[in-house]
């Protein structure tokens, strides 16, 4: 799973193909519960879609621009455009269905 540390990382990662981006913070319990699910997805979709995470405490400017108000927030991008936004802990099945629909 990629970690986004800067605006340049953000632009590069979401710019091509399908990307699932998780906005989180280390103090957020649901965010910590989401992490192993995202790690599994990252392994399963390697080479097909990017799975990335962004700590909002370190990247509050990007989170602010995107209107992130609650965490975890997961945004799915395709070729740099936001396709879907989910707030709260999400199951692997829900996220896999979204990715599969965009990849097929």
Active site residues: 28, 31
Query: Do residues 95 and 37 lie in contact, with contact meaning Cβ atoms separated by under 8 Å?
Result: yes
In the 8-state DSSP scheme, what is residue 27?
Answer: T
Query: Do residues 59 and 46 lie in contact, with contact meaning Cβ atoms separated by under 8 Å?
Result: no
Query: Do residues 87 and 73 lie in contact, with contact meaning Cβ atoms separated by under 8 Å?
Result: yes
What is the token pair recorded at 95? 């996220």
């Amino acid at each position: 799973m990629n970690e986004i540390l800067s605006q340049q990382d953000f632009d590069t990662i979401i710019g091509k193909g399908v990307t699932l981006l998780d906005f989180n913070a280390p103090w957020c319990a649901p965010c910590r519960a989401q992490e192993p699910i995202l790690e599994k997805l990252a392994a399963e979709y390697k080479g097909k879609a990017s799975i990335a995470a962004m700590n909002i405490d370190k990247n509050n400017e990007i989170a602010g621009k995107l209107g992130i108000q609650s965490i975890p927030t997961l945004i799915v991008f395709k070729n740099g455009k936001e396709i879907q936004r989910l707030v709260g802990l999400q199951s692997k099945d829900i996220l896999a269905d979204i990715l599969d629909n965009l990849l097929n």
